[in-house]
Amino acid sequence: MMGDKNYNDIIKLERPVSTKHPPMDRSNRAAQFSPFAALTGHDAAIKETARLTQGKIELDDSEKIILDEKIRVLEELIERKPLVSVTHFVKDMLKEGGTYMYTEGSVCKVDRYRQALVMSEGEIIAVDDIVDIESEVFADLFL
């Protein structure tokens, strides 16, 4: 008969210990049984592909004129550091397109050389990326 079903023939034997190799520590031993990810980075690639971006909106001529007028008013009132809400496009660094951001803050400079608004928090917003600027300073401008 080949051993008992309950392993009675080996259950009381000592565990074999190597005389050539030191015992493995628990963390290395546990690593042997950790799951294997054959497609490392695959989940991240799928999530990146699924992430949606938007195309950049091109303003028509009348919208550009209104935006230019708003920027001119901000430039005139720059010493007051007018509080504004700017809707602008931010290009995606990883794929085609981007997203529209809504930035609130005070404008501390209209940089005509770089064609940008410089916000008091240090953010620089390119005029070409701006879709709209809202502010109380425009209340009487466009009735």
Residue 20 lies in a domain: no
124-126 vs 130-134, strand pairing mode:
unpaired
Q: What is the pLDDT of residue 45?
A: 78
Q: Residue 48 falls within a domain, yes or no? A: no
- The stretches in the chain having pLDDT less than 70 are 1-4, 36-39, 142-143
pLDDT at residue number 43: 78
Q: Which of 136, 45, 143, 52 is nearest to 97 (CA)?
A: 52
The structural domain count of the chain equals 1
DSSP 106: E
What phi, psi does 30 have (nearest 5°)? Answer: -65, -30
Domain assignment present for residue 14? The answer is no
Establish if 91 belongs to a structural domain: yes
The reply to whether 76 falls in a domain is: yes
| Assigned domain for 109 exists | yes
Give the CATH number of the domain where residue 120 resides: 2.30.30.100
Whole-number pLDDT of residue 128: 95
Q: What pTM does this model have? A: 0.64
Query: What is the extent of the structural domain holding 79?
Result: 61-138
Give bridge partners of residue 117 from the DSSP assignment. 110, 125
